[in-house]
Amino acid sequence: MSVTLSALIQMLLKAGAFLILANEIRGALLAAPVLVAMYEAGGTWMTLWLGFSVLAGIALSVALPTLALRKLATVSRPVA
Residues in Cβ contact with 62 at an 8 Å cutoff, skipping those fewer than 6 apart: 23, 24, 26, 27
Helix orientation angle between 45-76 and 2-40, rounded to the nearest 10 degrees: 170
Provide the residue type at 5 as one letter: L
Q: Determine the 3-state secondary structure of 41 from DSSP.
A: coil
pTM here is 0.51
> What is residue 77's DSSP assignment?
S
Q: Return the domain boundaries, the chain.
A: 20-76
Query: What distance in Å separates the CA atoms of residue 73 and residue 66, rounded to the nearest whole number?
Result: 11
> What is residue 78's DSSP assignment?
P
pLDDT, tens digit (0-9, with 9 covering 90-100), for 2-50? 778 788 888 888 888 788 788 778 877 878 888 888 888 887 888 888 8
